[in-house]
Amino acid sequence: SQQGEEDPQALSIQEGENATMNCSYKTSINNLQWYRQNSGRGLVHLILIRSNEREKHSGRLRVTLDTSKKSSSLLITASRAADTASYFCATLADRNSGSRLTFGEGTQLTVNP
Amino acid sequence: DAGVIQSPRHEVTEMGQEVTLRCKPISGHDYLFWYRQTMMRGLELLIYFNNNVPIDDSGMPEDRFSAKMPNASFSTLKIQPSEPRDSAVYFCASSFGAWTEAFFGQGTRLTVV
């Protein structure tokens, strides 16, 4: 079963706007990761946030993690048409649960030029 | 490094035939993962290896599926006999360490007719 659930399933915005995607999960985690997938391609790692971190930045990406609510958000600022892709959150469970990187259903982001 | 290399990129086969998917992980990575992606079920972890040893194969759907990693630079996922419901994109990924990001190959799109 999928550990993470993304919200919304689909998001359509205009170029220049910010895009926010949310992820909820069920069990305790070691870290949470966000990946991007362009149509017909493999997944590309974007950012990793550890369970003891609350916020992380990478370029136009900002990720937050709330372990008490078991949720994370990915913010893409000043979006571009090239950001159009599916975005997945993935959780790595705690050490006792092994190294299973479990993916959510994904959010399809469309950035209109 | 060329990244994770999967072959073939596309495979069309008839029901009942044996299918072998191949993966070359990134040199030096000690974890290798096989995932399956479908519209209905999303990204599912089938099996993962650590230092060539299968650690968790609980995601392998049936005995028709088998995976091997004879050495650090090569892994195969075999389906015998194949069925139409096996049609999906199969991804191989590798990572260095248990709690880090995974690097994905471009995937093999399998169609069983």
Give per-residue pLDDT as tens, B12-54.
999 999 999 999 999 999 999 999 999 988 999 999 999 999 9
* pLDDT bucket at B76, cuts 50 / 70 / 90: very high
The minimum CA-CA distance between B43 and chain A, rounded to whole Å, is 6
What is the tally of helices (H) and strands (E) in chain A? 0, 11
**A61-66/B10-13 β-pairing:** unpaired
Cβ contacts of A43 on chain B, cutoff 8 Å: 43, 91, 93, 102, 104
Mean pLDDT of A14-19: 97
For the beta sheet containing B19-24, the strands, ordered from the edge strand earlier in sequence to the opposite edge, are B5-7, B19-24, B74-79, B65-71
Distance CA A19, CA A76 (A): 5
Nearest to B102 among A2, A41, A101 (CB): A101
CB contacts under 8 A, A 61-90 vs B, are: 88
Nearest to A103 among B42, B98, B101 (CB): B42
Q: Which of A2, A6, A36, A43 to mutate to test the interface with B (most CBs of B within 10 A)?
A: A43
What is the overall mean pLDDT for chain B?
95
